Amino acid sequence: MRRIIVDALISLDGYLADANGEIDWFVQDEEFNETEGKAWSLEMLRRADTILFGRVTYEGMAQFWPSTWARENMAEIAGYLNGKAKIVFSRTLKTTSWENSTILPYPTKEVILELKGRPGRDMLVLGSSNLVSSLMRDGLIDEYRIRVVPVVLGAGRPLFKDQTERHALRLVSCVGFHSGVVALHYEPTGAASSR
């Protein structure tokens, strides 16, 4: 069965975006973006053949990654993101121009299990806090790959929201980068991820 991997950059206080929806606080260190951060992103993208999105994250990425600037200046990552199958879960989005994209209305447990049962490689969830919350509630996430950026935002859009139950995780690895970013790799304990 294919695995679902959450891959996200968050602030130290757990936010994907600041109170204005901005991500300009992401690591601006050129060394990180050209070496450590890029290597991490490419490892994840090579493992997967499908990317799952919520609407908000999808719309932001669909504006950036197909752009001429991204294709010229971040060619390797742009190539992977543009070329992979993308599924966006949205009840309001009706059309998209980002290549290889499919719109599905809601990430029900049955839909996700059907996607996990298809032949292929892993599936990535990039950001997408509403989608992460839904998958987490249903025990469908197999790995969490979280990069913590050394900044406290104080408010914003959290990665983990609307959780009413405890979710125990096991640390697989922890890597500190020169930029101050800490990369955490967790897996759920027990059988929660195979429900």
Residue 52's pLDDT is 97
Host H or E run for residue 68? helix 68-73
pLDDT band at 158 (very low <50, low <70, confident <90, very high): very high
Residue 3's pLDDT is 95
Give the start-to-end residue ranges of the domains of the chain: 4-194
Burial class (CB in 10 A: 0-12, 13-18, 19+), 151: middle
Q: What are phi and psi of 70, to 5 degrees?
A: -65, -40
Average pLDDT, stretch 134-146?
Answer: 94
pLDDT band at 37 (very low <50, low <70, confident <90, very high): confident
pLDDT band at 81 (very low <50, low <70, confident <90, very high): very high
Strand partners, 124: 5, 51
Average pLDDT, stretch 12-39?
Answer: 79
Residue 71's pLDDT is 92
| 35 has a pLDDT exceeding 90 | no
| 181 has a pLDDT exceeding 60 | yes
The pLDDT tens digits of the residues spanning 58-72 come to: 998 999 999 999 899
Burial class (CB in 10 A: 0-12, 13-18, 19+), 80: middle
CA distance 38 to 44: 10
pLDDT band at 193 (very low <50, low <70, confident <90, very high): very low
In percent, how much of the chain has pLDDT > 70?
93
- For residue 99 the two structure tokens come to 């290549």
Task: Determine the 3-state secondary structure of 59 from DSSP.
Answer: helix
The pLDDT tens digits of the residues spanning 84-98 come to: 999 999 999 999 999
In this structure, whether the domain defined by 4-194 belongs to CATH 3.40.430.10 is answered with yes
